[in-house]
């Protein structure tokens, strides 16, 4: 059996087999759900003005189409800024694949440190996301085909940031104010790359949970799921075994008469739709994202989560009350992720809505962001499977009529032998990784030079360092910050 | 009076006023004219195989058009290579705006040092030049309009080099062989930028006569002509004064009845065509390019030149035999540049042929290579004039229907505060400049760090260090090498 992880909401599910495409970054945070004790702090500190910059569509060629412009959104907070005369610094968040307001709201770290540095805060939205949509902000047009989507790329985004920052500094007559870039996840990759490619625009980068090495064959394609496996195994051996065993049980049950209906009831799936694959996918999504966001304090990804949610999931699985009912145990775990508030009455597997506007990532995964993460070896908590580039290529062909360029990221940004390359080149980059984060396997985990350094949190999850601080934060997290 | 320097052969001359566009790099060397005593050395060492690589048309977007490919030419010499098992180095010339064979033939330095390093030599042709023409090698199509020419840009060229080098190393199973890039003039700019942008592909760069600071307002627009002024003034004050005075004399004479005919005869211009502007342009071209290529040994630019041609020009001007006949004196100087072989019977001002295939530079000067070099202050050997961006913009609008992006090069590659930016960023770049070269004003003339260094030759001209060595080379040149 081979389970296919589809973590792309845009994928058209088939009821038999699932296209294994790419794992999304957990990039969307819901502003209505600032964690309990942080809410007041967030509400006090979180403020920004919205601005727009007229951005060029293509920086790298001179076709007539490339001269088209669009309005790029950026958010500004100058409450703490020491001003241009004092050459006070500018902290820039290099936006990732979603609405910039979410990232802003979720990057409390920048708001919390700004007063200490008298820093101006700028959060720039990535082209094709949020409100920074080319073609007259018409998302339908922008996302309609490969000709329009063609301009959604990381190099264009970096050039956008350079152009916007230079212009902003000119307007503020702050050309001598140093710029430091921050980013988490894909935004962290952009921050690191921005420092490497535009050292004349930024003096340093904090790249949090940035898997810049999860390309080509630099990082093992088993790494991602191995870390998830370890996250659950670390909580309890039984928890790991139950989850590892569930896939075959689902498969076997699905084959029996009335089996799908049994599964539907066991997992409280709504009546409208169920299939073996969609159920397996729904479950694996819960495990993957919970592992990524295994934060020590309450959090919000697509859904609200308690502190240490992996531990909570394993508690549910290990609960003696559920005896030998594996479905009930795993349902209990999934319920932590999908229904922590307890409001859900049933779960809709047919809901492929993209309410956080992350759809562009499918395109990016089909062009340059070919990150091999889907391998599962014998020990994996998920069924054994191999990373298969051709599967990706077929999906991209059928979905967009496009051929990925899997070698582009390593060609443009490097990654192979990064220690040798950056030992005497580049400076002022901090790579943060939490080792519980499945993406950490593709991160920079060792100091490369005196100023290209790695900060590691053994207990940390995906860009935990950028979150709002909390009284409940454990000591290791305080130290990281 | 304002003389307009048009050094672009493609410019449509008007008989009244001249569009002042841009100064070309002296990039084309004629393979039939290897300097006397070098010819045998060159013939012995100069050998290469021609290869083609299937290159993508646009690296930075994913439009269907960007997936088009073209055949990119590169020349290979593996005579001296120590091989991949020994990780022997690879020396790559990053081709500039012309036929790669010319650059190869003119870059004797690489052939001469290759045996000492057991280096593989690779000379890559720049897209849209030589035989590396997109659209099925159909130059007429490729150069027909802004939609096709749009893909001619420096960033695309750098990405071409990265892609080709990585592929070549894979094919040679030489992924661990260090790559060093070399380039002169625009090719030197590309070499420096390549090290900065692709440190994972090259460990170091020799950027010879690379005016990477001749953008924006980093370098004074008077610098270029000030250096030419100094070159002639340094030979003789009288020489400088005669040339400085000639422009007005030509203007005054042109206004008189029969004046143009008098000028035509004085300067041995063919009967087909003369105008005041075309004559002034023809003369200034001679002074500009002679200053650029004021080499200590015989050379070839568009025409063969003697050693120290500026000195020769001034000798002609200072020659007492011509008494007070300023036209005859300046004609004598021009004759050094245009007719050193003595074969010409008259000079054709109407010859706008582009026999070295450099026409693409006009496009590059109209898009990103906006290098302000045309200012002339009171001391200038040329008539006083101001650098005028709007004039460039108008020319580009009327010639290509395109708007330049004058800020792009500094946005993408930096240049402002380069010492501060690169002091602790980047490594392994040698900037060579000869101070007689008018482009040296836009070069990096000071060491920036321990391994980002400047080599200066007070007596040197445009990338003199890359030329074939000669028994006649002066001591300073031997030391530079």
Candidates A208, A177, A182; CA nearest to A111 is A182
Put simply, the answer to whether A163 touches B411 (Cβ < 8 Å) is yes
Q: pLDDT tens digit string along B354-404?
A: 666 677 999 999 999 999 999 999 999 999 999 999 999 999 999 999 999
Please name the residue of chain B whose CA is at the shortest distance from the CA of residue A197. B197
Judged by a CB distance cut-off of 8 A, whether residue B213 touches chain A is no
pLDDT of residue A344 exceeding 90, the answer is no
B100 close to B71: Cβ distance less than 8 angstroms: no
**Residue B12 predicted with pLDDT over 80:** no
d(CA B89, CA B81) in angstroms, rounded, equals 8
Asked whether residue B15 carries a pLDDT value surpassing 80, the answer given is no
Measured in residues, chain A has a length of 481
Long-range pairs for A163-166 at CB < 8 Å and ≥24 separation? A163/A55, A163/A56, A163/A59, A163/B411, A164/A53, A164/A55, A164/A72, A164/A74, A164/A124, A165/A90, A165/A92, A165/A122, A165/A124, A165/A201, A165/A202, A166/A201, A166/B407, A166/B411
3-state SS track over chain B: CCCCCCCCCCCCCCCCCCCCCCCCCCCCCCHHHCCHHHHHHHHHHCCCEEEEEEEECCCCCCCHHHHCEEEEEEEEECCCCCCCCCCCCEEEEECCCCCHHHHHHHCHHHHHHHHHHCCEEEEECCCCCCCCCCCCCCHHHHCCCHHHHCCCCHHHHHHHHHHHHHHHHHHCCCCCCCEEEEEECHHHHHHHHHHHHCCCCCCEEEEECCCCCCCCCCCCCCHHHHHHHHHHHHHCHHHHHHHHHHHHHHHHHHHCCCHHHHHHHHCCECCCCCCHHHHHHHHHHHHHHHHHCCCCCCEECCCEECCCHHHHHHHHHHCHHHCCCHHHHHHHHHHHHHCCCCCCCCECCCCCCCCCCCCHHHHHHHHCCCCCCCCECCCCCCCCECCCHHHHHHHHHHHHCCCCCCCHHHHHHCECEHHHHHHCCCCCEEEEEECCCHHHHHCCCCCCCCCEEEEEECCCCCCHHHCCCCCCCCHHHHHHC
Q: Which of these, B141, B137, B113, lies nearest to B127 by C-alpha position?
A: B137
Whether A291 shows a pLDDT value over 50: the answer reads: yes
Pairing between strand A69-77 and B69-77?
Answer: unpaired
Kindly report the average pLDDT of chain A as a whole number. 89
Cα separation, B98 vs B35, in Å, equals 20
- A412 reaches B (C-beta below 8 A): yes
The C-alpha atoms of residue A124 and residue A74 are separated, in whole angstroms, by 4
Known catalytic membership, residue B185 = yes
CA-nearest residue to B199 within chain A is A421
Mean local confidence (pLDDT), B139-159: 96
At B13, is the pLDDT very low, low, confident or very high (cuts 50, 70, 90)? very low
Q: Is B223 annotated in the active site?
A: no
Q: Is the pLDDT of residue B291 over 70?
A: yes
8 Å CB contact between B291 and B438: yes
Q: Give residue A352's pLDDT band: very low, low, confident or very high (50, 70, 90).
A: confident
Taking residues A50-63, what's their average pLDDT?
98
Beta carbons within 10 angstroms of residue B136's beta carbon: 11
Of A126, A356, A462, A463, the catalytic one is A462
Given a cut of 70, whether residue A34 has pLDDT beyond it is no
Residues of chain B found within 8 Å of residue A417, distances taken between Cβ atoms? 200
Distances B106 to B81, B180, B428 between C-alpha atoms, Å: 20, 18, 24
The residue among B315 and A355 whose pLDDT is bigger is B315
Identify the bridge partners of residue B73 per DSSP, sorted by sequence position.
Answer: B52
Burial B67-87 (b: 16+ CB within 10 A, else e): eeebbbbbbbbbebbeebeee
Taking residues A353-357, what's their average pLDDT? 65
Residue from the list B151, B156, B426 with its beta carbon closest to the beta carbon of A425: B426
Please name the member of A62, A199, A421 whose beta carbon is closest to the beta carbon of B367.
Answer: A62
Give me the residue from B66, B166, B412 closest to A411, CB to CB. Answer: B166
In this model, does residue A468 exceed pLDDT 90?
no
CB of B69 less than 8 A from some CB of A: no
Residue-wise pLDDT for B203-252, tens only, equals 999 999 999 999 999 999 999 999 999 999 999 999 999 999 999 999 99
Rg over alpha carbons for chain B, rounded to the nearest Å, is 22
- B interface test, pick of A155, A193, A200, A421 with most B CB neighbours within 10 Å: A200
Report the alpha-carbon distance of residue A327 to residue A348 in Å, rounded. Answer: 18
| CA–CA gap between residue A380 and residue A420 (Å, rounded) | 32
pLDDT (0 to 100) of residue B389: 95
What are chain A's domains?
A: 40-216+412-480 (3.40.50.1820), 222-369+371-400 (1.20.120.980)
Q: Give the Cα separation of B479 and B475 in Å (integer).
A: 6
The answer on pLDDT for A22 being more than 50 is no
φ, ψ at A311 (rounded to 5°): -60, -40
Of A63, A151, A407, the CB nearest to B147: A63
Chain A residues in contact with B416 (beta carbon < 8 A): 175, 200
Q: What is the mean pLDDT of residues A80-98?
A: 96
Residue A461: pLDDT band with limits 50, 70, 90: confident
Q: Convert chain A into a string of H (helix), E (strand) and C (coil).
A: CCCCCCCCCCCCCCCCCCCCCCCCCCCCCCHHHCCHHHHHHHHHHCCCEEEEEEEECCCCCCCHHHHCEEEEEEEEECCCCCCCCCCCCEEEEECCCCCHHHHHHHCHHHHHHHHHHCCEEEEECCCCCCCCCCCCCCHHHHCCCHHHHCCCCHHHHHHHHHHHHHHHHHHCCCCCCCEEEEEECHHHHHHHHHHHHCCCCCCEEEEECCCCCCCCCCCCCCHHHHHHHHHHHHHCHHHHHHHHHHHHHHHHHHHCCCHHHHHHHHCCECCCCCCHHHHHHHHHHHHHHHHHCCCCCCEECCCEECCCHHHHHHHHHHCHHHCCCHHHHHHHHHHHHHCCCCCCCCECCCCCCCCCCCCHHHHHHHHCCCCCCCCECCCCCCCCECCCHHHHHHHHHHHHCCCCCCCHHHHHHCECEHHHHHHCCCCCEEEEEECCCHHHHHCCCCCCCCCEEEEEECCCCCCHHHCCCCCCCCHHHHHHC
pLDDT digits (tens, 9 = 90+) for A148-180: 999 999 999 999 999 999 999 999 999 999 999
Please state, for a pLDDT cut of 70, what percent of chain B lies above it: 89
Cα–Cα–Cα angle for B122, B125, B128, rounded to 5 degrees: 170
Overall average pLDDT of the B122-126 stretch = 98
Report pLDDT for A11: 25
Return the pLDDT at A465. 87
ipTM of the complex in this document:
0.91
CB within 8 Å of A450: residues ≥ 6 apart: A427
| Distance in angstroms (rounded) separating the CA atoms of residues A209 and A223 | 15
Tokens 């940390």 sit at which residue?
A460
What are A295-316's pLDDT values in tens digits?
A: 999 987 667 899 999 999 999 9
**Would you call B451 and A424 a contact, using CB atoms and an 8 Å cutoff?**
yes
Q: Active-site residue B437, yes or no?
A: yes
Least confident window among A216-230, A278-292, B136-150, B300-314: B300-314
Q: Give the pLDDT score at A4.
A: 36
Orientation of helix A223-235 relative to helix A237-255, angle to 10°: 110
Q: Flag if B424 and A422 touch (Cβ within 8 Å).
A: no
Partners of residue B162 in chain A, C-beta under 8 Å? 411-412
If one compares B456 and B474, the residue with the highest pLDDT of the two is B456
Phi-psi region of B216 (alpha: psi -120 to 50; beta: other; left: phi over 0): left
Across chain B, mean pLDDT equals: 89
Kindly state whether B362 is in contact with chain A, defined as any CB-CB distance less than 8 angstroms. Answer: no
Q: Which residue has the tokens 């293509």?
A: A58
Residue A58: strand pairing partners: none
Give, in order, the Cα–Cα distances in Å from B206 to each of A110, B168, B203, B476: 41, 21, 11, 18
**In the structure, what pLDDT confidence band is assigned to residue A471 with cuts at 50, 70 and 90?**
confident
How many Å apart are CA A51 and CA A338, to the nearest integer?
A: 35
Centre a 10 Å sphere on the Cβ of residue A407 and count the other Cβ atoms it contains. Answer: 16
Distance CA B257, CA B254 (A): 8
The active-site residue out of B462, B463, B465, B470 is B462
Average pLDDT over residues A173-198: 97
Tokens 């702050």 found at: A174
**Test mutation, A54, A62, A157, chain B, max B CBs within 10 A:** A62
**Interaxial angle between packed helices B237-255 and B326-338, expressed in degrees from 0 to 180 and rounded to the nearest 10:** 110
pLDDT score of B280:
94
Residue A76 pLDDT > 60: yes
- Kindly state whether B339 is in contact with chain A, defined as any CB-CB distance less than 8 angstroms: no
Q: In this predicted model, what pLDDT tens digit does every residue of B293-349 receive, in sequence order?
A: 999 999 876 678 999 999 999 999 999 999 999 999 999 999 999 999 888 889 988
Copy the structure tokens of residue B274: 């003369």
Residue carrying structure tokens 């942008």: B197
Q: Do B198 and A63 touch (CB under 8 A)?
A: no
**Residue numbers in B near A448 (CB within 8 A):** none
Could A411 and B162 be called an inter-chain contact, meaning their C-beta atoms sit closer than 8 Å? yes
Q: Do A146 and B425 touch (CB under 8 A)?
A: no
Question: How large a percentage of chain A has pLDDT more than 90?
Answer: 78
Residues B411, A149: C-beta atoms closer than 8 Å: no
- Per-residue pLDDT at B24: 60
Nearest residue, CB atoms, A63 vs list B56, B146, B426:
B146
pLDDT of residue B23: 54
Residue A271: exposure state from Cβ atoms within 10 A (0-12, 13-18, ≥19):
exposed
């Amino acid at each position: 059996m081979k389970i296919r992880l589809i973590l792309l909401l845009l994928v058209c599910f088939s009821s038999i087999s699932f296209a294994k495409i790419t794992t999304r970054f957990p990039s969307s945070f819901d502003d209505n759900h600032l964690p309990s004790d942080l809410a007041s702090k967030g509400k006090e500190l979180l403020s920004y003005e919205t601005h727009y910059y007229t951005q060029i569509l293509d920086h790298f060629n001179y076709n007539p189409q490339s001269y088209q412009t669009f309005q790029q959104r950026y958010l500004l907070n100058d409450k703490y800024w020491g001003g241009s005369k004092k050459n006070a610094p500018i902290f820039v968040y290099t936006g990732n694949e979603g609405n910039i307001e979410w990232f802003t709201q979720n990057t409390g770290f920048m708001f919390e440190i700004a007063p200490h540095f008298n820093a101006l805060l700028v959060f720039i939205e990535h082209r094709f996301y949020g409100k920074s949509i080319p073609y007259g902000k018409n998302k339908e047009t922008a996302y309609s085909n490969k000709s329009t989507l063609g301009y959604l790329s990381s190099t264009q985004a970096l050039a956008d940031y350079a152009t916007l920052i230079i212009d902003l500094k000119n307007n503020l007559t702050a050309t001598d104010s140093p710029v430091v870039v921050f980013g988490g996840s894909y935004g962290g990759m952009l921050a690191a790359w921005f420092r490497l490619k535009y050292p004349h625009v930024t003096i340093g980068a904090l790249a949090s949970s940035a898997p810049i090495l999860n390309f080509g064959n630099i990082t093992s394609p088993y790494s991602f799921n191995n870390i998830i496996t370890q996250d659950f195994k670390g909580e309890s051996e039984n928890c790991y075994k139950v989850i590892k065993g569930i896939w075959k049980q689902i498969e076997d049950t699905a084959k029996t008469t009335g089996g799908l209906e049994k599964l539907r009831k066991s997992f409280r799936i709504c009546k409208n739709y169920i299939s073996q694959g969609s159920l397996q996918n729904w479950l694996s999504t819960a495990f993957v994202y919970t592992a990524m966001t295994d934060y020590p304090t309450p959090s919000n990804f697509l859904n609200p989560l308690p502190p240490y949610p992996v531990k909570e999931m394993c508690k549910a699985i290990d609960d003696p009350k559920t005896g030998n009912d594996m479905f009930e145990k795993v349902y209990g775990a999934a319920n932590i992720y999908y229904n922590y508030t307890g409001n859900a009455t049933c779960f809709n597997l047919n809901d492929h809505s993209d309410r956080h506007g992350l759809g562009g990532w499918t395109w990016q995964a089909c062009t340059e962001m070919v990150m091999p993460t889907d391998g599962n070896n014998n020990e994996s908590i998920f069924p054994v499977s191999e990373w298969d580039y051709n599967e990706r290529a077929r999906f991209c062909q059928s979905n967009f009529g496009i051929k990925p360029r899997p070698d582009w990221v390593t060609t443009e940004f490097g990654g192979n032998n990064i220690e040798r390359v950056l030992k005497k080149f580049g400076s002022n980059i901090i790579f943060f990784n939490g080792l519980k984060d499945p993406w950490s396997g593709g991160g920079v985990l060792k100091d490369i030079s005196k100023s290209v350094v790695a900060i590691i949190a053994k207990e940390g999850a995906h860009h935990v360092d950028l979150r709002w601080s909390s009284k409940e934060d454990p000591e290791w997290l305080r130290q990281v910050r």
